[in-house]
């Protein structure tokens, strides 16, 4: 942890605790809806801008904090479910900003990245497709959305599903398949050729714009809006993938840290059978196990961040971190609910929603089982390599 990351994280944490957390009771926040409304997002971001904590992981000169530094800052932003959207560290924008910063041309950055960094626009990443049609999900090679060159434009057709933040987004990154392979395109939103069919009712509700099913019908995109080159889309996805997996871990670690704080306060003040709940081993041990899981998750995140900061792609390490951290956070959230009993399954505190959000996290950015399968394949490959 560097001094600059300590200072930034401290400012972010103070802002989240003092300014953002009171908004959790705002009537515009629907715990079981399709995410906070953009009206609330812009209101919170204006407060973050005035407090000097907007997009804190990207510095004034456009450079990015290291992954290890980012971990410190994003954990602080995650202490409220509204924190990442308030300070502009939320998904999918944070991952999209990282990708554009690495791959985008100067013109693309000015047109598509700058509005995201300034916090004045949201984005969406159009990759996943409907399972009912055999489209891309955990296996992106199954992509059915197509694109072909027509003069100086690409024409894109297909359907997408679980597209986070599509409703209300101003910037889109669309993945499609050409004769060369996977491609990525930057698009201005809304566009009449990209039609939101419906918003899915999902277990989570923290991301603005919800998760949409989308039809793309003869979308025409200028050739200069292709990100990189035709056929290299999966290569660019890999650049985004590991850091985006890890930043999810960072934010949700902040959220379950807060759930543990709330459960601890409840256990220390609520009495039953003649003493505080925390003095009953069945309760106290759950909080102790949470403390252990929190530290293990933190260490796993920092270890993977160091790997990425070394310049390595970190595909294996981010898979390991995603499995270990998402499963640990699920245990912490579950125990926090259990410690609080009936209050834990109510919307009176954020603990109930944290439980639902973390349950969804075990699936997106690759289900636990897919990551384990990938790791098992690597184990086999490594075993079959000739030994010196």
Rounded to 5°, the CA angle 214-220-226 comes to 95
Q: At what angle do helices 233-269 and 315-340 cross, to 10 degrees?
A: 20
pLDDT at 8: 98
Cis peptide before 190 (omega within 30 of 0): yes
Do 238 and 222 have their domain in common? no
DSSP SS3 for 310? coil
Asked, for residue 223, whether it belongs to a domain, the answer is yes
Do 224 and 251 have their domain in common? no
Q: Of 90, 115, 142, which marks where a domain is finished?
A: 90
Distance of CA 16 to the CA centre of its chain: 18
Q: At what angle do helices 368-384 and 315-340 cross, to 10 degrees?
A: 140
Do 277 and 361 have their domain in common? yes
Do 242 and 193 have their domain in common? no
N-terminal to C-terminal alpha carbon distance within the chain: 38
DSSP string for residues in 210-266? -EEEEEEEEEEEEGGGBSS-TT-HHHHHHHHHHHHHHHHHHHHHHHHHHHHHHHHHH
pLDDT at 388: 58
Residue 368, token pair as written in the block: 């636990």
Query: How far apart, in Å, are the Cα atoms of 283 and each of 162, 213, 288, 342?
Result: 37, 42, 9, 14
Number of structural domains found in the chain: 3
pLDDT at 274: 97
Q: How far is the C-alpha of 161 from the C-alpha of 138, rounded, in Å? A: 13
Do 261 and 361 have their domain in common? yes
Asked, for residue 314, whether it belongs to a domain, the answer is yes
Which residues lie across from 216 on neighbouring strands? 158, 194
pLDDT at 260: 98
Do 363 and 247 have their domain in common? yes
E strands in the chain: 123-126, 146-150, 153-164, 171-178, 181-188, 194-199, 211-222, 271-272, 275-276
Q: Of 192, 213, 228, which marks where a domain is finished?
A: 228
Asked, for residue 156, whether it belongs to a domain, the answer is yes
Q: Of 70, 90, 110, which marks where a domain is finished?
A: 90
pLDDT at 113: 97
Do 222 and 242 have their domain in common? no
182 within 8 A of 175, measured Cβ to Cβ: yes
Do 240 and 356 have their domain in common? yes
pLDDT at 62: 87
Residue tagged 């904090």 (tokens): 65
CATH label of the domain that carries residue 292: 1.20.140.10
CATH label of the domain that carries residue 183: 2.40.110.10
Do 376 and 241 have their domain in common? yes
Domain, as residue range, for 216: 123-228
Asked, for residue 96, whether it belongs to a domain, the answer is no
Do 205 and 243 have their domain in common? no
Asked, for residue 242, whether it belongs to a domain, the answer is yes
**CB-based contacts of 349, cutoff 8 Å, min separation 6:** 262, 340, 343
**CB-based contacts of 327, cutoff 8 Å, min separation 6:** 362, 368
Per-residue pLDDT tens, the chain, 388 aa: give them: 799 999 999 999 999 999 999 999 999 998 889 999 999 999 999 999 999 999 999 998 889 999 999 999 999 999 999 999 999 999 999 999 999 999 999 999 999 999 999 999 999 999 999 999 999 998 989 999 999 999 999 999 999 999 999 999 999 999 999 999 999 999 999 999 999 999 999 999 999 999 999 999 999 999 999 999 999 999 999 889 899 999 999 999 999 999 999 999 999 999 999 999 999 999 999 999 999 999 999 999 999 999 999 999 999 999 999 999 999 999 999 999 999 999 999 999 999 999 999 999 999 999 999 999 999 999 999 999 987 5
Asked, for residue 115, whether it belongs to a domain, the answer is no
Nearest of 259, 258, 256 to residue 329 by alpha carbon: 256
181-188 vs 171-178, strand pairing mode: antiparallel
CATH label of the domain that carries residue 33: 1.10.540.10
Distance of CA 67 to the CA centre of its chain: 15
Do 72 and 195 have their domain in common? no
Query: How far apart, in Å, are the Cα atoms of 365 and each of 164, 179, 237?
Result: 12, 26, 12
Q: How far is the C-alpha of 301 from the C-alpha of 248, rounded, in Å? A: 10
Asked, for residue 285, whether it belongs to a domain, the answer is yes
Asked, for residue 369, whether it belongs to a domain, the answer is yes
Do 81 and 138 have their domain in common? no
pLDDT at 1: 79
């Amino acid at each position: 942890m560097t001094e600059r990351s300590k200072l930034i994280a401290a400012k972010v944490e103070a802002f989240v605790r003092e300014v953002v957390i009171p908004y959790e009771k705002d009537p515009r926040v629907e715990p079981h809806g399709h995410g906070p409304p953009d009206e609330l997002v812009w209101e919170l971001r204006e407060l973050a801008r005035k407090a000097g904590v907007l997009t804190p992981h990207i510095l004034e000169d456009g450079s990015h904090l290291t992954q290890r530094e980012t971990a410190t800052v994003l954990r602080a932003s995650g202490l409220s479910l509204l924190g990442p959207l308030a300070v502009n560290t939320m998904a999918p924008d944070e991952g999209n900003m990282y990708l554009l910063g690495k791959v985008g041309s100067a013109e693309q950055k000015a047109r598509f990245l700058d509005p995201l960094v300034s916090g004045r626009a949201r984005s969406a990443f159009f990759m996943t497709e409907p399972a009912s049609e055999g489209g891309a999900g955990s296996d992106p090679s199954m992509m059915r959305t197509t694109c072909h060159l027509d003069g100086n434009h690409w024409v894109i057709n297909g359907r997408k599903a679980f597209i986070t933040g599509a409703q209300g987004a101003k910037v889109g990154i669309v993945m499609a398949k050409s004769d060369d392979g996977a491609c990525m395109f930057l698009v201005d939103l809304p566009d009449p050729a990209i039609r939101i069919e419906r918003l899915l009712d999902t277990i989570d509700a923290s991301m603005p714009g919800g998760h949409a099913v989308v039809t793309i019908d003869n979308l025409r995109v200028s050739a200069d809006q292709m990100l990189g080159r035709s056929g290299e889309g999966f290569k660019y996805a890999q650049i985004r993938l590991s850091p985006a997996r890890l930043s999810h871990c960072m934010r949700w670690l902040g959220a379950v840290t807060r759930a543990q704080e709330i459960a601890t306060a409840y256990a220390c003040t609520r009495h039953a059978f003649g003493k505080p709940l925390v003095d009953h081993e069945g309760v106290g041990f759950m909080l102790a196990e949470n403390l252990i899981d929190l530290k293990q998750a933190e260490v796993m995140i920092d270890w993977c961040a160091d790997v990425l900061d070394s310049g390595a792609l970190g595909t294996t390490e981010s898979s390991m971190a995603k499995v270990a951290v998402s499963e640990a956070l699920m245990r912490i959230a579950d125990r926090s609910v259990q410690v609080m009993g009936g209050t834990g399954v109510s919307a009176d505190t954020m603990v109930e929603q944290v439980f639902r959000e973390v349950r969804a996290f075990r699936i997106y950015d690759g289900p636990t089982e897919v990551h384990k399968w990938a790791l098992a394949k690597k184990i086999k490959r490594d075993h079959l390599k000739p030994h010196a």
